[in-house]
Amino acid sequence: MEISKIKHRKVIETTLKVYYKKFIYSESSLIKINCKLVSANLGIDERIYRHLIEYHYNKKFGMKNNEGKTIDIFTLKKEYMYVNYPLLVSINADLQLENNKFLLPIWISSAALVVAAIGVWVKFTT
């Protein structure tokens, strides 16, 4: 897959899908992930995936708690990468909402165009 065609939602949704069962059976919100496994599911190089999650997503979607301490989505501990699963679910929900806000006007405009076209067709055929 080309780097320019990598979609944030797809990367996040794939990560969530691969580790859903592991999270359900875990008592921790931090889940150890295998970057090679997720990147293979996405069809991208492991180094690209690792860079996306470690640098880009932490910078773009990271949060601060009430004390001002940064809460990372992805954390590197002892050479293993961990994901804050509940935070990633929240980010995915925000991205889906943002996408729906974009698609709704397009669908409404398309429906209006179809209704107008049918009206014009009826006018000229009767």
CATH code of the domain covering residue 23: 1.10.10.10
Distance in angstroms (rounded) separating the CA atoms of residues 105 and 113: 12
58: containing domain:
3-94
Phi, psi of 30 (to 5 degrees): -90, 125
Q: What is the DSSP letter of 111?
A: H
Report yes or no: 123 and 117 within 8 Å, Cβ to Cβ. no
pLDDT confidence of 121, banded at 50, 70, 90? very high
Contacts of 86 (CB under 8 A, 6+ apart): 29
Asked, for residue 102, whether it belongs to a domain, the answer is: no
pTM for this model (two decimals): 0.72
CA separation (Å) from 49 to 21, 38, 46? 21, 8, 5
Residue 123: inside a domain, yes or no?
no
pLDDT cut 70: percent of the chain above it: 95
pLDDT digits (tens, 9 = 90+) for 29-81: 999 999 999 999 998 898 988 888 888 888 888 888 888 888 888 888 877 88
Total domains in the chain come to: 1
